[in-house]
Each structure stands twice: as C-alpha cells, then as structure tokens.
Structure 1
Amino acid sequence: MNSISKKVYALTLSMAMSIALIQPAVQAAEAVKPTATVAETIASKATQTLQQLGYIDGTIESNTPITRAEAAVILQRVLKLDAPASLTGFADVLASDEAAPAIYALKQSGLIQGKAKGYAPDAPLTRAQMASLFTRAFELKDNGIQVVYSDMKQIPAVHVEDAVRIKQHFIIEGSAFNAKQSVTHGEFADALYLALGLDVKSEGLTPLEDFFKQPAQAGFQMSPDGKHLAYLEPWNNRMNIVVKENGQDKSVRVTSESERSIMGFGWATDNKLLYIKDAAGDENYHIYVTDIDGKNNKDLTPYPNTRATLIDPLEGVPDEILVAMNKRDPQIFDVYRININTGEAILAAENPGNITGWLTDHEGKIRVAVSSDGNVSSLMYRESEDKPFEPLLTTKLGETFAPVMFTYDNKNIYAISNLDRDKSAIVEYSPSTKQVTKTIFENKDVDVTSFVPSKTKGTILAAIYETDKVNYEYFDAEFKKLMEDIKAKVPGKEISLSSISEEGQVLFISYSDKSMGTYYFYDSVTGKLDKLADAAPWIDEDKMSDMKPISYESRDGLTIHGYLTLPKGVEASQLPLVVVPHGGPWARDSWGYNPEIQFLASRGYAVLQVNFRGSTGYGKEFLDAGNKQWGKAMQNDITDGVNWLIEEGTVDADRVAIYGASYGGYAALAGLAFTPDVYAAGISYVGPSNIFTLLDSLPPYWESERNMFYERVGDPEKDKELLTAISPLFHIDQMKAPLFVVQGANDPRVKQAESDQIVEALRERGVDVPYMLKTNEGHGFANVENQLDLYRAIEKFLNRHLMK
C-alpha cells in the first residue's frame, strides 16, 4: 500500500514558507455598547417576539419595575413548569395568590431559594436576582469570557458567579453591574429575549452545533496488507482511533483519549498504529503506538517539554521508526531511531545546531539535511550515512528548493523549486552533478505544490497545483483514466486520494464547498465502489452556500484572488459582511467546505476570504510583496476587497466586520486600529497585538527562523519605527468599533500576553472588551465544547453589531 503523501517530511520552514503564527479617549467608554438604534431595535424585537410567543402581556409599561412575582409568572410560562400540588412554603405567598403556582413551580425546580418566612413577591426584582434566575433557568455555564465589573465588590456573594455568567452570555453589557438596581419590564424582556437566544434564532436555520460537531468518522487509512481500515471517531467528545477488518462492519476502538483528541495517526505495521497528540494545546506533540486491538499502548517519546516529529515510518524495518525530537536542546531537532516495541531511542543523527529539516532515502537512510539561519539555507547531502554532509546548493530568502523525496533508485532528488523562476515547479536534481536534470512540471500562473508518486512504477504519476481549485497534471495515462473513472462515479465532487495499492485498490474522499466529504473504497479492477462513511451526514448540502472564486485589483495594481460566499436564497445587495483573513500569513485560503464560513453565511452574512500579498501559492514575487507590509499593503489588499464589494452594491458599508485567527487575528486588530471607519466590529482569535513582544516570544524551535521573521515582518532594532507603527496595541486610541478577543492560555506561538495586553489597555480607557480565555487550549481551540462556546459567542456578538 502506497500512501500518496509519504516521503513529504519535515522541510525547513523558511524553504516551505508555511509558518502559521496558526491565527478613543472621549468615546472609549461607549465603544462596545450598542448604538441607541441597535439597543432600541433589540428592545422592540424582544417585546414583540415575547408577546407573540405568549410569554409576556402586551399591556405592561416597559419602564416600570417588574416584581419578583411577575418575573416568576413569565419564567413559568417560558419553561413550561407544572405547579406543585401543594402551594405552600412562603409565609407571604398564599395558595390563593395569582402568582402562587408560578412561584412554587420555580421553587420546586430549584430556581428560587427564598426563606420560609417570605419571598417578597411584590418587591421589585433586582439585577442580581435576575442574574441568578436566568443562570439557573437556562443553565448558563462558564464559557471562558473574562468578566470584570467596576462594582464587583458591591455584588452580594451569593450572586457574584451568576452576575459573571449573565455577562458571559452577552445578556448584560457595560462595566458596572448595579446589583441592587431594580429591573424594568422592558429590561427583563430584553434579557429574556437574549437568554433564550431569540436574537439569533430563525425558522429553518441549521443549528450552530451541526456546523461544529466532530466528524462522524474521518481520516480513513488502510493497513499495508490491505486487511484493515483505521479511522477516527468521536468517543467521550474526543476523536479516537477505531479499527475494523476491510469489508466488515464490526469495529474496535483502540484508543480512549478523553482529555485531548488525537491529532493524527498512521499505520506502523500491519498490526500496529502510530498516533500523535499534545497536552492542552501546548504543541509538544508526543508519538504513541498501539496494537490494533488496543493493547500495548505506549508513549514512544515520553520526554517533558519535548516536541516529536515523525521523519520516516521505515516501511522496510517493521519494528523501528525515525523521529526528530528537541529533547536535548529545545531549539533544534536531533533524529532518533525508536523501537516501537520497547520504546528504546538511539541517536541516529545529531543536529550541529543549524539543521532545520531531514530527508531519508527509500531504504530509510538519512542522506539529506537542510541547514538554515532563517534567510540563507543550504541543501546538505551525503552518499551514505557513514560519510559527512556536504553542501549542494544555497538559497536566500524568497528562494525555494524543498527536497520532497528521492527518486526510486535513490540517486536523484525530487524537489519543489522556484530557483531561476517565479513560480515553484517540480524538478529532478542530481546530487552528483549538482544540477537540475529536468523540470518535470511548472504552471505559469501558480506554484506547483506537490505530486503523486508511484513506488510500483518508480515514477511520478501527476503534479498537483492550485488555482481556484486543486488541479492535476497527468504524466501517466493509466493513472489519468483511474482518476477520470473515480470522478465519474462521484459527479459534481472533487476528490482527494488517500492511498492506492499495487492491486489497484483506492481509498479516497469526495468533497465540495457544501460537503465535508464522503469516504470511499474503490476497486479499479472490478469497478466496485463502496461508500465507507459521510464525515458529516447531518449537513444538508441544499442549505449550504456556494463558495465562489473572485479576483479584484488592489490600489497599486496587483491582482488579488480570494473567495466570496453569499447567504443562500438572499438577494446579493446591501448585505452585512464578515471579512475572514487567513492565518499564517504565509499560507492561503482554498476552495472547499469550511464549517466556519458556511455557518456565517447561514446567518445571513456575506463572507470574504482574501489571499492578500504575502500569501503562498502565487509565486515568489507575490510572496515577497508582503515583506514588511503587515498592517500596510497586506491590510490594504483586504480593505480594497471590502471597498470593491461596497462599490458593487453587494455589501452595506455600515455593516462590515473583520474576524480572523492567528495572523488573521492580527489583521482584525489592524483593521480596527488603522481603518476604523471601515469596520463596525472585530474579532481577534489568538491574534498578536504587539509585534515586539510577538517576536520576543517565538517558540524556541523557531529560533532558526528568527532572521526570516526580521526580514518578512521587521527587525525590532533596525525597524523599530515600523513595528511601532504596525502594532495595534500602540494605536488603540484610534479604535472605535466593538472588539471581541479570544485566546488559548497555552498558545506557544501567540502567547496569552498578546491578548492580555490589548484587553488591559482598552479596559484602562474604559472600553468593555469581551475576552474569552480557555485555560486548556493553545493556538486555536481543539476541544469541541470550547469551539461551541466560541461560536455561540461569535454568533451573538456579530448579530448585535451587524444586524439591523
């Protein structure tokens, strides 16, 4: 069984360029409050909706205080609580009282806790009491949003936690809680409307949870002998490995991870599996092994503060793997030969201090290394493992020569290279002559990103490149026919191959922009196609939106590519817009199913994704055009896309938000700081706010890339003025739109301090910033319960600030 992506090992980050960082004084106090129009709209909708539902009477004056009895009556209706048989317990609430059934129904359900001598039914309901009622009634849980009230000490201790919960769920805004203040009928209606989620509910909407559920099954891989299938499946809210015999229904779960989902796995032998996971998002990935019956589970890299990367599964050596680890020095990775039965680790190649990538030949011998200082990289080669490495060629920043695998005779090297050209191509390189012997394929418009090798045929079957979608350039007629046959069996879908056996058995996934994907097993000899699983069978493709490739011209004449997703069934005119810049920034957005994008579109937003300058895939010149342009030309490309949609009439200029993760989170902060009139709201998800502190806190294993960061982003000493100018933290006086900040406490790339400092700075100016901090997450949330908290908050935040 040949894995399509096998032999694409750890390359230098500088060569591959795929580092992901994934992602006003007077008016300050009012910056995150709804405008009068927004607040009035919420109040009007709340009262009308609750009246239509029969929860409140239409004759009550909204500005008069609501009593505890009146609140109880409304909550009983909302919760549909039956009154107990005995209406006793409070000395001041008689069975004959009109509100008695409601009060005692709430008491029986544990929602009120009045003393026996009195409930005070005619007393005005206070904010503190309402917070406790709603927290209990609607089971409001801690969602990680940090809450600070200016009058926290004045809140009765019994109500403090409930006061926090009610603000966490965007029911009450403002810096003061005013615990003893009476609640009016109108205020109660507004809070109830928000507590019920009526602000974001609409008939026929796909539930938020459906978009962010864990896949039903995912990541199918076939054992080397073709007898078993392994895949990931949820168990206890975490993705775990399941194995079954090929062609059989009975399956066995072989892992039982409950703290953290398994991030990836692969076959080590016919009977053993390898998998990786980290702890709470710290990205110190460990490699584990397990038998296919779940026995003999072992951590093969049980070293503290160590990150492990699989270099080669060593197909020809069934009991060993090659793994790179930084256990000796946190900044560099040595290679170890690990026995998967005993866990014994023997040093196979010691890093002298500047090696950032290793490559083995088809016999598992380490014969290529890449050295780098971040800007200048060298390809190092040796004929055999008993000889020293010698340099073959050197590249500078912007130049790529990424060795992918040896030719099948172990003499030459297949590489992705943009030397002497703008767009990366597949080349074959001869170490003996130190020359490129042939250019296998190049595309004039975009980089070639990878290829499909065949061990059986000893050659490359096709090249892969990405324009608006992924494309194949075929070099083998038999493989081309196979792909055409597969595509014909899943019309209207794109396909991605997982593996092809020597016997012509193919494991693949079909997908689209409206479908997470379906896994299939195809026998090319018999033509039989077996469906293995839908990744998300609950998603109705008919309700999903088209992701349309778009392009426009930037203000300085560059062609910018991206994607526009419009809400389904809505006229493309004067729509609210959410701009979602990608992380990296040395990465790109791609066409396909994205639950986040589809979720936003389903809520009525147009969604713009921009491959701004500095994105990968469009050639060396386009990538280099982003050098030292954070917050400047890179940001202008995003702004130009917004303005283009406004000029086209597609988007309402007053209802534009920007939301991104990692570099995208930076772009959100930069958008609010540097183009404050463009955005009505912003969300920064693990986004850096201060470029000085970002660069000062790079993970130790990125130290070899520091010079690259200085060239691409800016040098803290030489470019001090530039980094000051592009750090949103130093320009918060220009921010006037509401901001929501999201962070994982264990993020090794964008430290918690990046979010802490901008939140603190804004709060010091009187700006009330919702700040979601998850203590068991890192650079992005992996645990599904945290993801759901995040997107529920995003839904309410955007609805409040963009929907009229």
Structure 2
Amino acid sequence: MLLFLRQCIVASFILLFTTTAFGAPSLKDYGLLPSTSMMEISPSGKKIAFRKSTADKDLLVVYSLSEKKTLLATDISEINPSYTYFISETKLVIVASQYRRIYGFKDTHNVSTAFTIDIKNQKIEQLLTPGHKIYKGQTGLGDIVSISQNRKYAYMPAYVGRSETDHSPNYSLVRVEIDKPKRLKVIEKGHDDSRDYFMDNKDRVIAQTRYDQKSNIYEVLVPEKKGWKVIYSQEMPILSISMVGSTPDFKSLIMLADNSKTGRSDYYLMSLTDGEITPSRLGRDDKDIEGVITDVNRVAYGVRYSGFTPSYHFFDKKLDERIQNALQKFPEHSVWLTSHSNNWKHFITRVEGSNYAGDYILFDDKNKPSFLGTQRPNIKPGDINPIGTLTYKAADGLEIPTLLTIPKSKVGSLKNLPAVVLPHGGPASYDRIGFDWLAQSIASQGYLVVQPQFRGSEGFGASFNLAGNGEWGKKMQSDITDGVLYLTQKGIIDPKRVCIAGASYGGYAALAGGAFTPEIYQCVVSIAGVSDLPRMLKEEKSQHGKHHWAVSYWESNIANNELDKNALKEISPAFHAQNFTAPVLLMHGERDKIVSYKQSKVMRSALKKADKEVKLIKLEDENHHLIEGQSRLLVINKMIEFFNAHIGEKATRPAP
C-alpha cells in the first residue's frame, strides 16, 4: 500500500520536490546527499518545512498541505543547516553552522548559529550574535532550551563575560526577543561550571546542571531566594548520566543512566524538591533507552529504545497505540519519528531499510498514511541492496551482532563473494538498518558489506559497551577479524578478496587491520582515521584541557587509563607501517576538528618510509562528517576504483 502511495501525490508537489530517474541508478545516485531532508510539520499540521538540495540550489521550503502550494523557498546555500522546527504557524527556527574565523582566535572554526525565518515576510534573523552582549569567542550559539508560551522569547545558553575583556566567561542563560533579537537580556549569569538549564511553562528557570572538570563533581541545582541550592551531587570522572528533559508538571527532571540490575541504559525521575531519584518501569532487559521524545521545551512524551531498528514507548496509551500501529506497517525497517503537530494529531516518520530509501510518511489521528516525499528520488525500492542480520561468536565467546548489505544481484547465491568490512565510527556508536549511503554504494558494485558491532559499541547494554575499554587494537579488532573468519568458514566470502574500510574510529580499525592482521585484507581504506594514539591524546588535551571529562573518557576508552606511551604506540598503526602488505588509501577533510588531518599525514609518511603503497587525498573545505556532496562523490568513486583494482573481477591477485 505505502509503496503505491509514492506514486499518488499532488502533481505540483512532484514537479517541485522530486527529480525523474531513468534506468538503473548510478553510483552518484547512491552517494548523493539526500535531496529532501529535515522535514518538519507545523503545530496545526497544515504546513511542512524541509530542506531541498539539488546540484545548484539548497533551499529551505515551506509548503501548505491544505492549499497545496509553496509558501516559502529561501536560499540556505551559504550555511550548513543541521535541523529546523516550527515555533509557530508563521515562524521557523533553523540551526546551521559555518566555517569562519573568530576575532582573536587562530584558524577557522565551525560556528553553529540559530536563525528565525518569518514565513510571511521571508525575513531571516540571527538570534545570538557574538560580540553583541555575549562573548565573541564561542562556537555554539544554536541551542534553545525553551520558547515562551506567547512565542515572543527564546531562552538560549551562551557564554557571557563580566566585561568585554573577560576571557573566562560563564555559561549563562539569555532571553532573546524573537522579532527583535538585538533586544536580549541575561536572566541567569551562570557559573564557571554551568552546563545546562531547564525551564517550566511559565518562563521560570527550574534547574541547572554544573560539572567541575577538576574535582569531577556533577551537580543539579534549583533556584532559591538567595541563589541556588544543590539537590544532587556525585563525583564522576566521566559524565555517565544525562539530564534530557522534564515531566509535564515540571516537578522532576528526566535522567538517563545505566541500570545496575539490567546493565541497560534506563529512565529515571529526579525530584526537584530534594533530588530523590526514582526508577521508572520503562527499562527493558534487551534494549537500552537511548533517547527521550520531547517538545521544544523538553517536556517528555515517550522514549526510544536501541536496536538495529528503533522502537518506542509513549506515556499516553492512545498515542502509544497509534505509534505502534504505524511501526507495524514497516516490519524490519527503521522508522524514525521526525516531527509532530500539537497534541500529536499528525506526525511524520522517515522510513529506511530494504524497501525504503528514506521516505517521509505523514500519519493523521485516524492513522491514515500519506506519502510526502523521499530523500532519494532516483533510488527505487528495487534498487536498494537488501540488509540482513547475523550473529557470530568472537574467540572468547562474546556474541557479535552484525549487519550485512547484500548486492541485489547476489541475493540468490551468497557464495564466495568479494567483501568490504566496514566497521563503524565512535567507537561508542552502532550501525542500524537504514539507507547507509556508503554501504549501499559499495554493495551496488557487487561487494558484500559486513558491519560488525564489535565490543565497545553502544546499543547492546553497558557491559558490552564497557567491554571495549582498553581494547583498541586488541579485542575490539579481533572481533572484526573473527567476523571475516566466520563468513569465510561459511563459504559466504572469498578470503582472497576482502578489503577493510572505515571512517573516524572505523578508519583506525581499517588501519589496525592492515597493521596487525595483514594476512586478512587485500586493501585498506581509512577516512579521517586515527593512526597515532599518543598524538591524538595530546591533541585532545590541547583542545579541551587536561582536566576535561572528554580527555578522561578517551584515556579510559583507549587504554583503560594505562597511559604508558610505549603501550599506546603498540596499538598505533603508524608505528607498525612495516607490517602492511595491502595497499592503503587515505582520505581526510582539511577542516577536520575531531580527528586532525595530521593523523593521515603521519600515516602516509610512515608507510612511505616503509616503502609501502599508499595514497592520501585531501578533501578540500571538508570537515569530519563529509557534509559536502562533492566530497561524498569523490570519496565513493575513489573507494570503488580502489576496491575494483584489488578485489574486483578484473583485479590481479597473487597466485596461491
């Protein structure tokens, strides 16, 4: 039924928001950035807003579902939009980022900013401007913690100095008049360690959180007549809990933290009267609670559970029944709840998986689905390479969940296939069933894509996640190797035609595969991968400060706090270049602030010195996340050329 709905949409909407595909999709079609994204619905459910990207245009579009016409199409090509949402029927917030210089600081920085867009007069206003009553040297100006009930004010955290020359500003809370953003007022001056603020529906601050980087003390505070009162305090070297919202009565904060009994991330209520923590009955033995569904003021409606496909529970029984009915229409697919109208009369889902390449479906209160658009109009359901799951045991018996993206031409015969192992980044992340542009691009060229969820991955419980601490280059890596051996033993992959590729931590894992198990892989591709761990930790301390919790996290995650430099070198691929037998392709964004471009330069130098085959491609004007469409196309084209040369049908392989 829903596949048919893709064809049943108003003609004017098709002409404006889709393109026409002829014949089989190209590699470019698989690798392109989504042409439609960030779809949101207005409070009444009568309008939608979305980003529309083409080769020469990048627009924010507002479309009237009731009038069947475009109300706004504004150019956003000069910024990198992250997300948008309605704050009223006539106004949108769009949060975007730009690489630019900050006065008084070196280099360019990725600066996030929130803008409002008036649908009627098409006026765009920047809410917070560095230097106008707030500290110039800050990069994060896109957060809104609350919108006033009259929709006149936005409450935003920002660093505010005591004077123009103050270079140690406090993280304060600012009230911004939406129609006239230059009119702003600091309503809470903040503290050296302030991290977040929470408000009620009467424009009152009800709580703030603080974290002291030196003492590792995390606190929750509530206002009292003469300042602030601490209601909760705990020492934690690494932030292991998160306050994510409030209850509808604003008497409690919602906390996500690990449940010691189940080993899963769970949902707790913290009373704002005395800090007492009450467990909920929402936790599950088989899944983590990895997200809370909230409105713009962070009032919670329900939770999202982890898994290869997301699942949900809503507090309102009727709403929960509607959501479950919607999910049942897409078995074994990821259904993401992207937006909802007031009172949830309408909600939008994005569906991804073996039959959907990112389709937006609108549900009304009668549970009637309507197709709104697709992220990839040139990809038909029959063009999607199917996604399967399996579980194998690592050498020590730990079960490793795995995704397989199967070339559609090979579904009938899973025997002796060329394969690309594609470990995820993070490493505290995990892969899901969906339209993974990289996996789909590779599979479209006839390669089986293997995505093992090695120990240290999130989504499979605290013990599975913590089992990765100190296992970089060790068990986290052998988990990946064991997957290759398992699939080889089953006759699914050809052991003489296996490459490994990945981005970020996945790039490290790819390089570690080439360095520590060179007999397994015929080629190695690292995108923005770490190669030199002592250098990485030094860069983290330089960027955040040696007391920052992020530094503590990496020290624990990488080496289990055993920071002997020689031990770090033992698991750094750059110090084992002589072990490589497979050719290496390195690609890295020149503006990467998460893993510095230097990491790939160091790896290239080490391989060249060892007289190994290596090539480094600098991705101009690109950051860590491959946000530019041209960069994605360059990356995938170079990868496929590399795979074809070394494990393709015409590749020259050494004689047995």
Deviation at 1:686, TM superposition (A): 0.8
Corresponding residue to 1:416 among 230, 253, 256? 256
Residue 39 of structure 2 aligns with which residue?
220
Whole-angstrom CA distance in 1 between matches of 2:527 and 2:340: 35
Residue 569 of structure 1 aligns with which residue?
409
Residue 125 of structure 2 aligns with which residue?
298
1:503–1:785 distance in 2 versus 1, CA, 3 Å? closer
Residue 586 of structure 2 aligns with which residue?
741
Residue 470 of structure 2 aligns with which residue?
628
Q: Secondary structure at the match of 2:268?
A: strand
Deviation at 1:420, TM superposition (A): 3.2
Contact 1:278/1:285, CA 8 A, preserved across alignment: yes
Greater RCO structure (CA 8 Å; 6+ sep): 1
Whole-angstrom CA distance in 2 between matches of 1:781 and 1:717: 33
- Output the aligned Cα RMSD: 3.1
Residue 421 of structure 2 aligns with which residue?
579
1:474–1:704 distance in 2 versus 1, CA, 3 Å? closer
> What letter is aligned with 1:728?
P
1:453–1:748 distance in 2 versus 1, CA, 3 Å? closer
Give runs of aligned pairs for residues 394-413 of structure 1, distance below 5 A.
394=234, 396=236, 400-413=240-253
1:729–1:391 distance in 2 versus 1, CA, 3 Å? farther
Give runs of aligned pairs for residues 670-689 of structure 1, distance below 5 A.
670-689=512-531
Residue 501 in structure 1 maps to residue 316 in structure 2: no
1:455–1:323 distance in 2 versus 1, CA, 3 Å? closer
Deviation at 1:717, TM superposition (A): 8.5
Deviation at 1:609, TM superposition (A): 0.9
Q: Deviations over 1:300-348 (max 9, x none)?
A: 3333653224132414252322333457669985443333333334334
% same residue: 25
Q: Secondary structure at the match of 1:284?
A: strand
Residue 643 of structure 2 aligns with which residue?
798
> What letter is aligned with 2:153?
E
Residue 179 of structure 2 aligns with which residue?
341
Residue 248 of structure 1 aligns with which residue?
67
Contact 1:400/1:424, CA 8 A, preserved across alignment: no
Deviation at 1:551, TM superposition (A): 1.3
Corresponding residue to 1:233 among 42, 45, 52? 52
Q: Secondary structure at the match of 2:128?
A: coil
Residue 311 in structure 1 maps to residue 144 in structure 2: yes
1:700–1:770 distance in 2 versus 1, CA, 3 Å? same
Deviation at 1:799, TM superposition (A): 0.8
Structure with the higher helix share, 1 or 2: 1
1:694–1:385 distance in 2 versus 1, CA, 3 Å? farther
Residue 222 of structure 2 aligns with which residue?
382
Whole-angstrom CA distance in 2 between matches of 1:332 and 1:467: 39
Corresponding residue to 1:323 among 147, 156, 171? 156
Contact 2:44/2:342, CA 8 A, preserved across alignment: no
Q: Deviations over 1:149-202 (max 9, x none)?
A: xxxxxxxxxxxxxxxxxxxxxxxxxxxxxxxxxxxxxxxxxxxxxxxxxxxxxx
Deviation at 1:233, TM superposition (A): 0.4
Give runs of aligned pairs for residues 48-447 of structure 1, distance below 5 A.
206-235=25-54, 237=56, 239-280=58-99, 282-293=109-120, 295-303=122-130, 306-308=138-140, 309-325=142-158, 333-344=171-182, 345-364=184-203, 365=205, 367-371=207-211, 373=213, 376=216, 378-383=218-223, 387-394=227-234, 396=236, 400-421=240-261, 422-447=263-288
Whole-angstrom CA distance in 2 between matches of 1:330 and 1:775: 34
1:488–1:614 distance in 2 versus 1, CA, 3 Å? closer
Q: Secondary structure at the match of 2:281?
A: strand
Residue 371 of structure 2 aligns with which residue?
531
Contact 1:750/1:779, CA 8 A, preserved across alignment: yes
> What letter is aligned with 1:218?
S
Whole-angstrom CA distance in 2 between matches of 1:711 and 1:778: 26
Whole-angstrom CA distance in 1 between matches of 2:285 and 2:57: 44
Contact 2:593/2:624, CA 8 A, preserved across alignment: yes
Residue 641 of structure 1 aligns with which residue?
483
Residue 472 in structure 1 maps to residue 472 in structure 2: no
Q: Secondary structure at the match of 2:640?
A: helix
Residue 597 of structure 1 aligns with which residue?
439
Contact 2:407/2:445, CA 8 A, preserved across alignment: yes
Q: Secondary structure at the match of 1:705?
A: helix
Structure with the higher strand share, 1 or 2: 2
Deviation at 1:439, TM superposition (A): 1.9
Whole-angstrom CA distance in 1 between matches of 2:225 and 2:624: 37
Q: Secondary structure at the match of 1:694?
A: helix
1:361–1:796 distance in 2 versus 1, CA, 3 Å? same
Residue 3 of structure 2 aligns with which residue?
none
1:578–1:375 distance in 2 versus 1, CA, 3 Å? farther
1:537–1:347 distance in 2 versus 1, CA, 3 Å? same
Residue 448 in structure 1 maps to residue 293 in structure 2: no
Contact 1:212/1:787, CA 8 A, preserved across alignment: yes
> What letter is aligned with 2:246?
F
Corresponding residue to 2:575 among 726, 730, 733? 730
Whole-angstrom CA distance in 2 between matches of 1:332 and 1:576: 55
Residue 18 of structure 2 aligns with which residue?
none
Q: Aligned residues, how many?
A: 600
Q: Deviations over 1:727-774 (max 9, x none)?
A: 111111111211111111111111111111111232334444221112
Whole-angstrom CA distance in 2 between matches of 1:444 and 1:461: 22
**Structure 2 gap segments, 5+ residues each:** 1-21, 100-107, 131-135, 162-166, 650-656
Q: Deviations over 1:666-720 (max 9, x none)?
A: 1111111111111111111111111122122238458442122222224898422
Q: Deviations over 1:613-633 (max 9, x none)?
A: 111122222221111211111
1:756–1:633 distance in 2 versus 1, CA, 3 Å? same
